[in-house]
Structure formats: structure tokens, C-alpha cells
């Protein structure tokens, strides 16, 4: 949102943070964006219909891998045991390696399986049904760890050196967050200083919540490097380094414990005078944050795929339970309250898969800009996953709250719904919180306006402002008129009447959303950045409308093939989403946004700030264990979260 803010307002720290964020975002659109177009009032159904289904040959290759993986997981992957022990056994790491899953997307020339993004997402989805922590471990390794950045930006030498290692089980991790730094990279404390001869960099700092960091062989570490002058101002530099975890000075200080996905090897990593060769910089000095943001376009797609697959499994469990439980003379699925929960699960599963699959198809097609679609999928599917996991637990009642092992011990069907709920919660936080996704998508939604009218909102010369006014005068009158009259020129004749009705609703409200966003920009000017709740509602509107279009497009594509098996559940989703869209528009004018600042300020004034946390004396480096030992089967012991050596987990 930095370009919305008047450049002479805000604190120096705020301006520095905004400058880092703005300098790091992708500035060029590779192609027309389905989502970006919608925020400008243009619903281009040609970008979603016919729905881009997975290539049959590619799907068959994925089917074969999934068959092998699921057969192995049924025998070897005990998600309930892993959750209780908070450890993934060594034999599971080795099994993943034997199946080649550490290198699903790594090209075959480097020892990987060379599979598509869609098949990779399917692998994560099915694996998550067996064990969320195992799926998260694999995802952190391959989605944001060393493989993806090197595939996109690595040199030939870097790829040749590292990709074969990570394809064969050298576990990788991504280190960005710090104890005092979350979504504000300008506040980063980890620093890398170049050596006098330029041969290496000396890295110092700490990273928190580094998934896989406890057992990682290799890490992508984001660190500040010396600032540079750009366009007359000092610009902070963030650089991405490949760091070998066996390098002197790399220490695991703590293994974190969590509400869900409890077996992930996530921890606090300390770097003390770590020497990193200069050739280990990825993409270039000062380009680390841009690398991270670009990597996440594809990298975060695993999360919505997992969400869609988990909800599909929850819908199946819910239907089984609803058919088995008999209350007040009928199956509970026949009572309206329970039927509503089932329908919501079924419709949600279909919609979430449509969105996830669409993004996977765009990724595999290449050349399409999917930054907004990927962020929308992450935002929408994680929010729906949490809501629907809660509904699935409610449908199951007390048995939903009871653990899988407890149910099994007393002879009942061991549905792991409470674990699914706990595992689901992290997805609204990891790889960009819901709140950050709202701000990211709002910034991209406003991109066309900021390019067009940005100089009018900040400091600029009279000449620049005059040119901007002339440019706006040539664009906005015709554009704004289309936002009111554009529906006259839209036709959905190729769609079944029941679907065309919903597409007309989507098209009409897409124009309404674009008008509302434009009005908010004009009315608030630079202060729009602070209206985060308004921006969040507009982003949520865009997500709901986009998913409605994708659902209608996929349903029609199926009808074109003579398949109407999902029509009823899809129409239910469209009807339910219509109600959510209406509610979001209503809440733009009827809300409590103006009250919250005063209340929050009063609450904060009544308490003391937390003291600075000093590293406790008892915090000492944990004994080393490496993913390559786990995946190869060489490890004869596991280290528990307290640092004690336990029994041989591979036995």
C-alpha cells in the first residue's frame, strides 16, 4: 500500500518500511490478470471458460505417483502417532525419499521427478489427509526452501551444486521472520557484511519460526546488506543467501511447539559470524525480498491445495457420520441444521478446488501473471478451511472434540477431526497472514489507479501533476461510464441458464466493486491506506466474485462434457456466495470501523507494554541432526524437543 501514502506523512521508520516493500514488489504485469481486471470492473469470462483442466497425460503421471504414495502412507504414515509424539519418524523421511517426493518439481536432470505444479499440489493434498505435519515439512522444503528460488533465479552453478542434494533428501528451509520482525522487513536485524576481498559475507542474527530449520541441511536466509543510494535516497538492501547448516556459527537454539502440525521441525536459528561464499547469493545483492515475493506466487499454492483436499475429506467424513447417526426418528443429515453443515462442506470443497486447480493450471501454462490469483487462493481457501473445519467438528459433536486415538481405544470410528481443526489454524498465518494478504491484494487492485493518478496523491511538480490530470481526463470518464453501463454489452449465451443468472450477478457486482474501490480512493486519498477494514472487505468481495465465476465456468465445462454430477452442489455454493457478497457490500457502509481506534487506544493505555525478552541463560544450542541423515536411513536416534536423545525412530 506504500504508493497510496503521501510521501511526506508518517514516521521515518514507516517510510523506510514502505520504501522497502514498494521497491521489492513486481512492477510489471506479464499478462492480463483475471483478478486485476475484475478490480477494474472487467469480468473476462474468457479467462476462466472453458475451465483449464489438467492435461490427461500429466494427470495420469500424477495418478501413478499418488497411488504409490497413498499405498505407502496407508501402511507407514500414522498421523495420530506423529501428532502425539510431536516427531516425524526417520522411516517416514526415508519413505518420502524413496518415493522421490523431496524433488517432485525439481527437473529430472537434477535428480528430481520433474512433475508439474498441479501434480505437486495433488501430492501435498493427499499427504495432508494422512498427516498435516508431514505435508507441511515437504511443502516448506520445496515451496519456499532452496528448490523453488533456485529453479526460478539460480545460476547454472548453483543449480548443479544444490538441486541434486535437495532432490535426494537434503532438507531445506526458509529463514525470514525474526523474534522482533514479522511482516516488516525494514526492521530486520540479521545483517551480512562483505569481506574485504569480496570472497564471502559474514552473517549475524537470529531467525524465528523457521520451518524445517531444526533439521535443515540448507537454508535460504534473508539478511540486510549495506544500504545503497537510489534516486537520491538511501535504500535498505535485503539479500538472499544459501547457507549450509553445517557451517561454523549456525546453531539451533530452540525447537518450537505449536497448537497444530505439532511434529514440524520449526525453531529459533542463530547465526554468529557465519561465513557465506559470495557465490551463494541468489538473484543478486539487494534482491532478496523480491525473490521471496516472486517465489511465493507459486510457492504458496500448496496451502490452498491442502485446504481444498482437507475439506473434501471432511465432507466425506461428515456425510458418513450424518448417515450413521440416528436422532429423533431420522438420520441427523436429514435435519435441516445438519443438512446445512453438509451442504456448506460440499459446496466449499468444490469451490476451493476450483480456485486451487485454476491457479495450478495457470502456473503450469506459464507466461500468465498469477500474483493476485495465488494470493487470493491462499486467502480464500485458508479462511474457508478454518470455517468449514469448525463446522465439520460441530457436526460430529462431542466425538469431533475427541482425539482419534481416544475414539479408537473405545471402539468408535477414529475420525481425526480435532487434529484437522488444529492443523488448519496455522494456514491463516503462515506464508502471509490473512491481514497481509488483504493489504497485498488491495495494493495490486489499486495498481492501475496508482499508475494513472499516483502523482496527484503525493509530492510532485506542477508540470507532472498537470500531465497526470490530462492523462486521467482522457481515461476516467469513459472508464467510469462503463462501470455503470458495461453490463449492456455482456452476454453469457454459452452458459446454462442457471449458471448465466449467477454470472450476470457476478458481472454486475464486479462493476459495482470497481466503482466502490474508486470512490474510496477519491474520498480518502492518501488516508485510504489506513482504512484497512474497508480494503479488506473489498478484497473479500473480489475473492468471492472471482470464485463464483470459476465455479460457474467449471460447472459449464463439465456440462459441455455431459457431466452434471456436481451441478447441485455447485449451484448451492453460488447461491450461498451471493448472500456473502450482499453482506460484504452492506458492511462497507454499516460497520463499527470508526469506533475501534478509540477503544483499542484506551485498552492499551490501561496496561503496561511487555518487557523486552532477554535470551534466557538456559537456552543452549541443541544437538545436531540433519535431514539428509533422516532421509538416507543413516540416523540411529532422534533428538526430542528438549535436546534428549530418544529411541531409534526408524525401528
Exposed / middle / buried, residue 157 (Cβ in 10 Å: 0-12, 13-18, 19+): exposed
Q: What is the pLDDT of residue 14?
A: 56
Cα Rg for the chain, rounded, in angstroms?
25
Q: How confident is the model at residue 9 (pLDDT cuts 50, 70, 90)?
A: very low
Domain 298-440: CATH class, spelled out: mainly alpha
At residue 451, the 3 state secondary structure works out as: helix
Percent of the chain predicted with pLDDT > 70:
92
For 291, other C-beta atoms within 10 Å of its C-beta total 22
Q: What is the pLDDT of residue 229?
A: 83
For the residues 228-252, what does the mean pLDDT come to? 91
Q: Phi-psi bin for 488: left (phi > 0), alpha (psi -120 to 50), beta?
A: alpha
Q: How confident is the model at residue 430 (pLDDT cuts 50, 70, 90)?
A: very high
At residue 208, the 3 state secondary structure works out as: strand
Q: What is the pLDDT of residue 488?
A: 80
| CA atoms of 117 and 538, how far apart (whole Å) | 29
| CA atoms of 214 and 641, how far apart (whole Å) | 10
Tens of pLDDT, residues 467-513? 999 999 999 999 999 999 988 878 899 999 999 999 999 999 999 99
pLDDT above 80 (res 580) = yes
Beta carbons within 8 Å of 367's beta carbon, 6+ residues apart = 30, 31
Q: 172-296 and 298-440 share one CATH topology?
A: no
For 10, other C-beta atoms within 10 Å of its C-beta total 16
Q: What is the pLDDT of residue 31?
A: 83
Q: How confident is the model at residue 642 (pLDDT cuts 50, 70, 90)?
A: very low
CATH number attached to the domain at 172-296: 2.40.110.10
Q: What is the pLDDT of residue 209?
A: 95
For 235, other C-beta atoms within 10 Å of its C-beta total 14
For residue 178, the cross-strand partners are 181
| CA atoms of 188 and 238, how far apart (whole Å) | 9
Q: What is the pLDDT of residue 471?
A: 92
Residue matched to cell numbers 488483504:
438
Q: Within 13 Å of residue 304, how many CA atoms lie on the same side as its CB?
A: 32
**Is 598 or 610 the better-scoring residue by pLDDT?**
598
Q: What is the pLDDT of residue 641?
A: 40
Q: List the one residue out of 435, 427, 149, 173 whose CA is nearest residue 306.
A: 427
Q: What is the pLDDT of residue 489?
A: 76
pLDDT above 80 (res 30) = no
| CA atoms of 451 and 201, how far apart (whole Å) | 38
Please give the DSSP secondary-structure letter assigned to residue 623.
P
Q: What is the pLDDT of residue 614?
A: 62
Is the Cβ–Cβ distance between 523 and 589 less than 8 Å? no
Q: What is the pLDDT of residue 185?
A: 75
For the residues 513-531, what does the mean pLDDT come to? 93
Is the Cβ–Cβ distance between 145 and 136 less than 8 Å? no
Exposed / middle / buried, residue 100 (Cβ in 10 Å: 0-12, 13-18, 19+): buried
For the residues 75-98, what does the mean pLDDT come to? 97
At residue 221's C-alpha, the angle toward residues 219 and 225, to 5°, is 150
Q: What are phi and psi of 287, to 5 degrees?
A: -110, 20
Cα diameter, the chain: 83
Q: What is the pLDDT of residue 322?
A: 94
| CA atoms of 565 and 138, how far apart (whole Å) | 33
Percent of the chain predicted with pLDDT > 90:
77
Q: How confident is the model at residue 454 (pLDDT cuts 50, 70, 90)?
A: confident
Q: What is the pLDDT of residue 222?
A: 95
Long-range pairs for 266-270: beta carbons < 8 A, 24 or more residues apart: 266/209, 266/210, 266/211, 266/212, 266/213, 266/214, 267/210, 267/213, 267/214, 267/622, 268/179, 268/206, 268/207, 268/208, 268/210, 269/175, 269/206, 269/207, 269/210, 269/213, 269/219, 270/205, 270/206, 270/621
Q: How far is CA 90 from CA 24, 83, 464, 488, 639, in A?
A: 39, 15, 63, 63, 11
For 424, other C-beta atoms within 10 Å of its C-beta total 26
pLDDT above 60 (res 72) = yes
In this prediction the pTM is 0.93
Q: What is the pLDDT of residue 329?
A: 80
Query: Among residues 206, 373, 404, 431, which one is catalytic?
Result: 431
Domain boundaries, the chain: 172-296, 298-440
Q: What is the pLDDT of residue 650?
A: 34
For the residues 621-626, what does the mean pLDDT come to? 84
Known catalytic membership, residue 61:
no
Is the Cβ–Cβ distance between 264 and 315 less than 8 Å? no
Q: How confident is the model at residue 11 (pLDDT cuts 50, 70, 90)?
A: low
Q: What is the pLDDT of residue 424?
A: 98
Cis, bond preceding 50 (omega within 30 deg of 0): yes
pLDDT above 60 (res 230) = yes
Q: What is the pLDDT of residue 79?
A: 97
Tens of pLDDT, residues 332-383? 898 999 999 999 999 999 999 999 999 999 999 988 889 999 999 999 999 9
Is the Cβ–Cβ distance between 304 and 352 less than 8 Å? yes
Q: What is the pLDDT of residue 640?
A: 41
Q: What is the pLDDT of residue 367?
A: 84
Segment holding 429, helix H or strand E: none
pLDDT above 60 (res 213) = yes
For the residues 439-455, what does the mean pLDDT come to? 92
| CA atoms of 49 and 56, how far apart (whole Å) | 18
* Residue count of the chain: 651
Tens of pLDDT, residues 378-412? 999 999 999 999 999 999 999 999 999 999 999 99
Beta carbons within 8 Å of 262's beta carbon, 6+ residues apart = 83, 86, 133, 422
Is the Cβ–Cβ distance between 243 and 250 less than 8 Å? yes
Q: How far is CA 638 from CA 619, 627, 634, 642, 649, in A?
A: 20, 11, 11, 11, 6
| pLDDT, mean over the chain | 91
| CA atoms of 37 and 33, how far apart (whole Å) | 6
pLDDT above 50 (res 8) = no
Q: How far is CA 98 from CA 7, 302, 630, 631, in A?
A: 55, 21, 12, 8
Q: What is the pLDDT of residue 491?
A: 87
pLDDT above 50 (res 428) = yes
Amino acid at each position: 500500500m506504500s504508493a497510496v501514502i503521501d510521501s511526506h506523512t508518517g514516521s521515518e521508520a514507516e517510510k523506510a518500511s514502505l520504501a522497502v516493500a514498494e521497491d521489492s514488489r513486481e512492477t510489471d504485469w506479464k499478462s492480463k490478470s483475471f483478478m486485476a481486471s475484475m478490480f477494474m470492473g472487467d469480468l473476462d469470462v474468457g479467462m476462466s471458460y472453458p475451465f483449464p483442466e489438467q492435461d490427461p497425460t500429466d494427470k495420469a503421471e500424477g495418478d501413478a505417483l499418488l497411488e504409490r504414495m497413498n499405498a505407502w502412507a496407508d501402511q507407514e504414515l500414522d498421523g495420530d502417532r506423529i501428532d502425539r509424539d510431536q516427531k516425524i519418524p526417520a522411516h517416514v523421511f526415508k519413505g518420502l525419499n524413496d518415493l522421490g517426493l523431496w524433488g517432485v518439481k525439481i527437473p529430472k536432470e537434477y535428480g528430481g521427478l520433474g512433475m508439474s505444479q498441479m501434480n505437486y499440489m495433488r501430492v501435498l493434498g493427499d499427504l495432508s489427509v494422512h498427516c498435516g505435519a508431514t505435508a507441511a515439512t515437504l511443502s516448506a522444503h520445496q515451496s519456499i526452501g532452496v528448490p523453488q528460488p533456485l529453479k526460478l533465479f539460480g545460476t547454472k552453478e548453483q543449480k548443479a551444486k544444490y538441486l541434486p542434494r535437495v532432490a535426494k533428501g537434503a532438507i531445506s528451509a526458509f529463514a525470514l521472520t525474526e523474534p522482533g520482525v514479522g511482516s516488516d522487513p525494514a526492521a530486520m536485524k540479521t545483517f551480512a557484511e562483505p569481506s574485504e576481498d569480496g570472497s564471502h559475507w559474514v552473517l549475524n542474527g537470529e531467525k524465528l519460526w523457521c520451518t524445517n530449520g531444526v533439521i535443515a541441511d540448507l537454508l535460504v536466509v534473508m539478511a540486510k546488506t549495506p544500504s545503497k543510494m537510489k534516486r537520491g535516497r538511501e535504500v535498505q538492501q535485503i539479500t538472499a543467501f544459501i547457507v549450509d547448516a553445517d557451517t561454523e556459527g549456525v546453531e539451533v537454539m530452540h525447537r518450537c511447539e505449536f497448537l497444530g502440525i505439532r511434529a514440524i521441525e520449526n525453531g529459533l536459528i542463530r547465526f554468529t559470524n557465519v561465513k557465506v561464499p559470495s557465490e551463494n547469493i541468489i538473484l543478486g545483492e539487494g534482491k532478496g525480498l523480491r525473490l521471496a515475493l516472486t517465489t511465493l506466487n507459486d510457492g504458496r499454492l500448496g496451502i490452498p491445495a491442502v485446504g481444498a483436499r482437507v475439506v473434501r475429506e471432511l465432507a466425506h467424513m461428515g456425510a458418513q457420520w450424518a448417515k450413521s447417526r440416528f436422532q429423533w426418528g431420522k438420520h441427523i443429515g436429514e435435519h435441516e441444521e445438519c443438512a446445512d453443515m453438509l451442504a456448506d462442506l460440499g459446496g466449499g470443497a468444490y469451490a476451493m478446488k476450483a480456485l486451487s486447480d485454476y491457479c495450478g493450471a495457470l502456473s503450469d501454462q506459464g507466461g500468465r501473471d498469477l500474483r493476485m490469483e495465488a494470493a487470493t487462493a491462499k486467502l480464500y481457501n485458508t479462511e474457508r478451511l478454518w470455517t468449514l473445519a469448525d463446522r465439520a467438528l460441530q457436526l460430529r459433536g462431542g466425538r469431533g472434540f475427541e482425539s482419534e486415538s481416544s475414539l479408537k481405544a473405545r471402539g468408535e470410528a477414529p475420525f481425526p477431526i480435532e487434529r484437522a481443526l488444529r492443523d488448519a489454524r496455522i494456514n491463516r498465518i503462515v506464508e502471509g497472514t490473512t491481514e497481509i494478504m488483504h493489504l497485498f491484494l488491495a495494493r495490486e487492485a489499486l495498481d492501475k489507479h496508482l499508475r494513472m493518478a499516483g502523482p496527484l496523491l503525493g509530492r510532485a511538480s506542477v508540470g507532472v501533476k498537470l500531465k497526470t490530470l490530462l492523462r486521467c481526463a482522457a481515461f476516467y470518464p469513459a472508464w467510469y461510464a462503463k462501470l455503470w453501463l458495461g453490463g449492456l454489452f455482456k452476454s453469457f449465451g454459452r452458459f446454462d441458464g442457471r449458471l448465466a443468472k449467477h454470472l450476470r450477478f457476478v458481472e454486475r457486482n464486479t462493476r459495482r466493486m470497481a466503482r466502490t474501490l474508486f470512490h474510496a480512493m477519491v474520498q480518502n486519498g492518501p488516508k485510504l491506506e489506513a482504512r484497512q477494514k474497508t480494503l479488506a472487505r473489498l478484497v473479500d468481495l473480489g475473492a468471492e466474485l472471482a470464485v463464483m465465476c470459476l465455479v460457474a465456468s467449471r460447472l459449464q465445462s463439465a456440462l459441455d462434457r455431459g457431466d452434471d454430477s456436481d451441478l447441485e452442489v455447485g449451484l448451492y455454493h453460488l447461491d450461498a456466495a451471493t448472500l456473502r457478497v450482499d453482506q460484504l457490500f452492506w458492511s462497507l457502509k454499516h460497520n463499527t470501523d470508526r469506533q475501534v481506534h478509540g477503544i483499542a487506544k484506551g485498552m492499551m493505555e490501561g496496561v503496561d507494554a511487555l518487557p523486552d525478552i532477554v535470551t534466557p541463560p538456559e537456552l543452549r544450542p541443541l544437538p545436531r541432526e540433519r535431514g539428509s541423515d533422516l532421509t538416507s536411513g543413516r540416523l540411529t536416534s532422534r533428538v526430542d524437543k528438549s535436546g534428549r536423545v530418544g529411541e531409534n525412530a526408524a525401528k
